[in-house]
Amino acid sequence: MVRAISRRMIQACCKIVFLKRALRWCIRRQLHSARLPGYRRSILTRMSSAVPIDDIKKFTEYCMGKKIVCATKPSEHWVVAKFYWEGCASIDAESLAVFCKRVCSSDVILDIGANWGYYTLLAGAIAPHAKIIAFEPHPFWFEQLKRNVIINNFKNVRVERLAVGEMAGSAPFYIDNQHPSTSSMVKEFTRDEHTTKIITEVVCIDSFVKQNKIDKISLIKIDVEAYESAVLSGGKSVLQTHRPDIICEVLPDEGMGYREANRKAIQTIVTELGYQAYWMSNTGLVREEIIQGHYPLANYLLTTCEE
């Protein structure tokens, strides 16, 4: 009851434009503070959910002292909204330090399943010396990715409206109409019974690297909604010769056969190529002989080096 009344009061205040902007500024500034006590963070997060953000067309963030402009509206994606309210460290916080450390020492980075460009933007901002290639087959999110790269004037970032898989060609891509961020090459992954199927062009890492005469891949990030094993399978030659570090999402099985098959295929490739798997937990990297898949912290570091 108290929460409902508070929410209505906030919404009433936000009908006055300058009060809405002032409230957003205050809440956002406090939520960006790493020293904010948990109980205050919880209260401010609830308050932020009542404040309208549909009028925000772009905003600025900073990571490692580098400026990032986001041209995707916070109202378009819950992750963008979280990025707006709480900053870089609020998204995949357990993976952020690992990713940024490796980006700084990388020459060529592949972002496979870039979506609106979170990891691409981080890499572009903190490693202007690196060449970053971002892949995204979803038409809407590809346009958002492209807009974000252009608005930041990243000359070192290349975007491709392509899926990455086991073999080059074309294949169905399933767009979840209710949950667009969960669209996938795997039909079973989508949750909307009215899923839209489109045909997308597919490349594999091995042929893409060969055709583009790329000498050395340093880092690969893969987040393709239960299709990760196909991506790795299509890049075995590159993984064998270049030995890049890989940040890869591995979802828990949860009784879903396609997820189990994906996880086991990843395990087979990791073992075959001599990689080690480290789960990115909220207390640091955890070595796993057998990849388990975890939720909600689903990212793994796959590497040939001891951590």
Q: The domain that contains 288 carries what CATH number? A: 3.40.50.150
Which tokens is 109 given?
Answer: 């980075």
Kindly give the pairing relationship between strand 276-281 and strand 299-303. antiparallel
User: Distance between CA 183 and CA 157 in Å, rounded?
Assistant: 24
Pick the closest to residue 249 from 205, 289, 306, 302 (CA basis): 302
**Same structural domain for residues 21 and 109?**
no
Instruction: Confirm if 100 and 64 have CB atoms less than 8 A apart.
Output: yes
Please give the residue range of the domain that contains residue 46.
1-52
Reduced to 3 states (helix: H, G, I; strand: E, B; else coil), residue 298 is: coil
Please indicate, yes or no, if residue 32 is contained in any of the structural domains.
Answer: yes
Q: For each of the chain's 307 residues, which pLDDT tens digit applies?
A: 557 767 887 887 888 888 899 999 999 999 998 888 988 999 999 999 999 999 999 999 999 899 999 999 999 999 999 999 999 988 888 898 899 999 999 999 999 999 999 999 999 999 999 999 999 999 999 999 999 999 999 999 999 999 999 999 999 999 988 877 789 999 999 877 779 999 999 999 999 999 999 999 999 999 999 999 999 999 999 999 999 999 999 999 998 999 999 999 999 999 999 999 999 999 999 999 999 999 889 999 999 988 7
Report yes or no on whether pTM surpasses 0.85.
Answer: yes
Which tokens is 267 given?
Answer: 């395990």
Please indicate, yes or no, if residue 71 is contained in any of the structural domains.
Answer: no
Report which residue type is found at 299.
Answer: N
Please indicate, yes or no, if residue 82 is contained in any of the structural domains.
Answer: no
Burial tier of 45 (Cβ tally within 10 Å: 0-12, 13-18, 19+):
middle
Question: Cα 100 to chain center, whole Å?
Answer: 13
**Same structural domain for residues 150 and 251?**
yes
Q: How many domains does the chain have?
A: 2
